[in-house]
Amino acid sequence: MPHLFIDYSDNLAGLPEQQMLTELVATVCEHPSILDELDVKARIAPAKQYVIGTGSGLRGFIHADLRLMAGRTPEVKKELSDRVAEVLRRFTPHPEGMLVQVSVEITDMDRPSYHKGRL
């Protein structure tokens, strides 16, 4: 914990995946509510099959789901969401004529059912 999942439409050519992930993890780790940088795990996956609305036109998206152990205040969640969104905006390509949606969700993980171990 935390886990950071990034999904994006595969029409965002040139998205610097590794560079963006590195920056996202650093940004999350800098927040005072994150106690151990080793706990932050991030992954990214392009969506090859997706639909955005019902209209025509060139559309794309990038979405981050930051999963945190339950118990953080709404203010802390908002701070983390804003930090992640800022990095996504900075790294996401915006091709001419394309509407690109950027979204971030903070998800609480259930503490009693979460298991983590180290080998």
pLDDT at 55 over 90: no
pLDDT at 19 over 80: yes
Question: In order of start, what are the domains of the chain with their CATH numbers?
Answer: 3-109 (3.30.429.10)
Instruction: Give, in order, the Cα–Cα distances in Å from 24 to each of 66, 70, 92, 102.
Output: 10, 20, 12, 14
pLDDT at 5 over 80: yes
Task: Tell me what the pLDDT averaged over the chain comes to.
Answer: 94
Q: Is the pTM here over 0.85, yes or no?
A: yes
pLDDT at 114 over 90: no
